[in-house]
Amino acid sequence: MKTWNNWLIVVPARLKSSRLPEKMLADLCGKPLIIRVFERLRPLKERGATILVATDNEKIEQVCRSHSVPVKLTDKNHQSGTDRCAEVAKNYKKEYVMNVQGDEPFVNVDELENLAHTMEQNSSEMGTIIYKNKNEKSFLSENTVKVVVNKAQEALYFSRAPIPFKRNHDFDWFWQHQGIYAFQTNTLLKFCDLPMSELEKHEKLEQLRALEHKINIKLVESKHPSVGIDTADDLKEAREYYERLSQN
């Protein structure tokens, strides 16, 4: 993929966080978490992508501006980061939009490039990243989102339940969903105009709205586990990991 000129990358960021208060502004080795995420994405900006933070909070907005990070203040009533992305996308004439989580400072840029390339090559309406997870505890956890994949490398279903069910109990691995989304811009706007679906309400997974309305989701394999920050322990581990990376 030679250029990212067709892409808008949005990092949704809200201040409220139940398990780690003001997570986006937590210090990660000298800079707020949200700034570290933007810095991780900077190579894509250098290749032509338009990248910005979308937030509903003035405090995050001020921190971004103080670090010269592009930021847009969005409606406080949005239900999800995807809705925040859609609001921002209306102001840019880009063919594609990528939603990168604001709490993943170690996201792999090469895999984002692979997702973008796959989307363009297949003219996909929507795409996301999956990871082959061999941890049975994660498979059984409702906090880990599982996905069943068809032969065309598209999503059949996402669930918090352990799927596909292993009738012989011979667990080996499963496909774990990693929460990075890519959309054709028109599909993103259509998706956000759709009512919340029944499966989405049950599972609390917004991507099920797409499947229920026959929007195919192209899947791209990641070779790296997701390293998100949800708790104080996660933040401590992230600081240690960041310091190790800085020393190499």
pLDDT at 21: 85
Region 133-153: mean pLDDT is 95
Region 50-55: mean pLDDT is 97
pLDDT above 80 (res 248): no
Task: State which residues form the domain around 176.
Answer: 7-247
Mention every residue, 6+ apart, whose C-beta is less than 8 A from residue 105.
28, 33, 36, 37, 40, 227, 229, 238, 242
List pLDDT tens digits, range 9-35.
999 999 887 778 899 999 999 999 999
pLDDT above 70 (res 1): no
218 versus 104: the higher-pLDDT residue is 218
Q: What is the mean pLDDT of the chain?
A: 94
List pLDDT tens digits, range 165-178.
888 888 999 999 99
Distance CA 32, CA 35 (A): 5
List pLDDT tens digits, range 98-124.
999 999 999 999 999 999 999 999 999
pLDDT at 2: 66
Distance CA 127, CA 154 (A): 9
pLDDT at 92: 94
Region 124-132: mean pLDDT is 97
- For the chain, where are the E strands, in sequence order? 7-13, 27-28, 31-32, 50-55, 71-73, 96-99, 126-133, 146-149, 155-159, 174-184, 217-222
In a domain, residue 69? The reply is: yes
List pLDDT tens digits, range 70-94.
999 999 999 899 999 999 999 999 9
pLDDT above 80 (res 196): yes
In a domain, residue 2? The reply is: no
The structural domain count of the chain equals 1
pLDDT above 70 (res 198): yes
pLDDT above 80 (res 241): yes
pLDDT at 156: 98
In a domain, residue 183? The reply is: yes
In a domain, residue 1? The reply is: no
Distance CA 219, CA 117 (A): 12
User: Of all residues in the chain, what percent carry a pLDDT higher than 90?
Assistant: 83
- The CATH number covering residue 159 comes to 3.90.550.10
**pLDDT tier for residue 69 given thresholds of 50, 70 and 90:** very high
In a domain, residue 65? The reply is: yes
Phi first, then psi, for residue 126 (nearest 5°) are -150, 145
